[in-house]
Structure 1
Amino acid sequence: MFTDKLREGSTGPVAKFLFIIIMVSFAIAGVGTYLAPKIDLNPAKVNGRSISSGELEQQFRLEKNRLERQLGNSFREQARDPAFNAALRKQTLERMITDQVVSDHIYNSGVVVSDDLVKTKIREMPEFQVNGKFSDAQFKKVLSLAGYPSPLFFSEALKGDIAKEIYLKTAFDSGFALPDDVAVIARIQTQERTFRKIDMALDSYKKNQTASDAEIKAYYEAHSKDFLLPEKVKVSYIYITSGDFVKDVKYTDEDLKKFFNLHAELYTIPEKRTVSHILITGEDAEEKIAAVAEELKNGASFEELARKYSEDPVSKDKGGRLPAFAQGVMDSSFEKAAFALENKGDVSEPVNTQFGWHLIRLDGIEPGHGAEFEQVRNDVIEQYTKVQSRELYMDKKQIIADTSFENPDSLDAAMLAANAAREEGGEMSKSVQIKTSDFVSSGDRDAVFPLNQPEVQRVMFQNEIRDGSVNSDVVELGDNAMVVLHVEGYKEPVPKPLNDVMNEVRDAVIAAKAEEASGSTLKAVTESLAKSESVEKFVRDGLIVLSEPVTISRIKAGDVNSEVVRNLFAMPVPEKGNVTYKSFTGAAGSYILVLTDVVNPVLPEDSARDSFLNNQIYNFRYGEDNQIVIDSSRAESDIEYNQNREFLKSQEDLNNG
């Protein structure tokens, strides 16, 4: 290094010569050019404050995680394209700029959101609740799956959303709609349209089509990307559970006794009761048990009545006597009645359970009491090691997370750090090990656990993990298991051999020919409708399927395809005595809609309907108001884009840079 050379020659003539050169350079250029080069790599500034490249990368990664969860393999295919990633990063930057200018605008308007309000909102969000109550573990799990780096990061984002909502509600009068507005929307929603749908009978077209070997080969070569083998990765990974560290837990008798004393409630022997019972089943069981109870009151022996009437084959011959039991063992109704009896010999009223009707007699009570340490020693060892192994797991998880991040090139350092002795001179553990997989396909549910889990596969196939050859973040699998991965090899999707997909390609060729033939029919049918000619000849030839007339409204469309509904209500109203028709090709296939009638029904008063429509109008206007705030906030803000380390004043400059 240059400084080492200075030290080596600090006493000779070389040192003096170098010293003169450095002093002259400082005098000409200034010390700052050596110590603090003026290079700003942040992508943008908003009102004088920088959006850092680190913040952009974090948001970019969050956005990619979100899209990957929504779109799966189709997104991963797009994300291989550098141009797509560049566009997505630019879009993410624009969203961050918009969030910042809106946040500044709202803050300057005096809207402040307290931390307590944010905490309350978080606790009320159903996605963070388990059995109707907020769960911190669920909160952290959901944030981790969503890609948020920390709860604080999410809380700050939520605070901005709450502030925007408060601002819009106070700044704009969007809380209600005028009666005329509601009436217009109601008429639009309830308008009834009668139509017939003409479908191309594709199966009929397919029957008349063939595919030659040459056509199959040509189609395969032109559409090979439609017949790909899935992409594959080979990974090294560390997978641990809390159970892996049971063997690492060391203890003495003193440790166990201390744990026993701290958790005495775990080792209390509960109260037990011994009872006898008489069981009667069947439709008339209630009447029969009442008769048995009457005999008992008249002095009959409980044991003799049990032997005579009880239908419990286990206790009948024992006079109805059952083994002693504690609470939480028997049917809840039976148990409640048994533990309500106070004195030996007391008999319950008839009790109904899922097994039938009972009379229950209390024969004895074994009081609950605390156990001696030696009585439950094995249980104490089991509980102690379980608690300690859980603590060890949490420690190891944090060590692995930190070390794998700091040493991203492999998992070796993370394994060594996690296995290091906890005390100086102690023995290293071998509980944390690196495993290596075979190549695993995207979506392969037969892969070895945990590599077959969806949340793990999402990470395995992330471009930045694969292409950057860096360790993944820790993926938590419940409260007691985690995995961290490093991609060791990658196989791109490649076309399957033609022989393996011959039938699929043949079907695709035939389907393409059928589509082309049906397109000709579609044109011919449209021409016939234009001439007001009947289309029955096409029906007879099996070329089209003509539906019966169907009447629907926007809000009562039955099982009609949503795309068809949308297209139908976009068509112009036909003149009286005529029809309107139009052909469509979309997700619902190729079809023609023939609109024959439009009726605007007289609407009765309906407060529930009007309230619903008022909310719809409010939500629409809320969206419009939100856009107004965005546009005005951007217009009044100073936004600068960093291109080639030089800040530019507009996105247009950036696009043209």
Structure 2
Amino acid sequence: MRKYSYVFLILMLMVSVLVLGGCGSQVVATVNGENITSQELDEKVASVKNNLAQQGITLEGEQAKEMEKMLRQEVLSQLIDRRLVMAEIERLNLTPTDKEVQDQIAVIKKQLGSEAEFKKYLAANGINEPKLGDFMKEQLAVSKLYERISAEVPQPTDTEIKDYYDKNGAQYKEPEQRQVSHILIGVGDYSNGKNRTDMDAKVQALQIVDKVAAGADFGKLAKQYSDDLGSRDSGGQYPPFSKGSGFAAEFENAAFTLKNGEYTVEPVKTTFGYHIIRLDKIIPAKTHTLAEVRNQISASLRDEKINQKVFDYMQGLRDKAEVVNKLSEESSEPAEKNPSTKE
């Protein structure tokens, strides 16, 4: 079973807007008597595969045939659902006006800044302005349907919000954090091309400790000497972190042993080299109160209810529809009743 959100419906329409009508090609499904052709399916599958390829994902190897079969079945299910959604939009008279579509395109043009940038945007997405208009028309229509469905979902009650907070209290607890600055004198590959030995690094680290003890500015020393390029420009300072945040164990242990303003008189050795660590701030552990997170919980609970409502709504459209899915019928696996097909 698949749960559909508003975002899913939008993405479904975004891809499908590029699909052309396939006159004369084989029918792979019908939805209330309306055909979905193999040409539509092939073009949509090709579009999905192209998007996957751009992410470095290709269907190859021994399982490629089975994966492609599963992909085609999933894409066809999406095309079927798109037909159901668009028919429902038409039934409810939610189709946007031409002015609404043009207003939305005008927003895009304004965001891009110029007509030239707008044309580049169209070219980059492989569409022209009429095709963009078709997409925007469907996007706005889906938005109207989504708003109609979500309007029926009430706000969570105080009891629901409190019950959620009580059951999920752990996620509203923030552990103690430490903010530190450090100077790394790297060893070997971590010495920024200086290829220091362990002994050389330790000697230099101890010399820097002496400078700190003599009152030299820690941040300036970090900018001058540290081999940690990620923190050097900020005077060696890291954002606050809690235990188990991924730092080397030796570094973390030292950071959580120091008191405010203290630094490690003995440089701390890790696989990277030798660190002089100064504790800048202790941020105590905190538990957010119900009042502090009430709005966040309320929004999250309502989103869940809306997603469930959209899912139930889509399932209702499937249950009422006359759908013939020929890919399902041709499957070599044991026949299973299509939940969206009426007997």
TM-score (norm 1): 0.27
Tell which structure's C-alpha radius of gyration is larger.
Answer: 1
More strand by share: 1
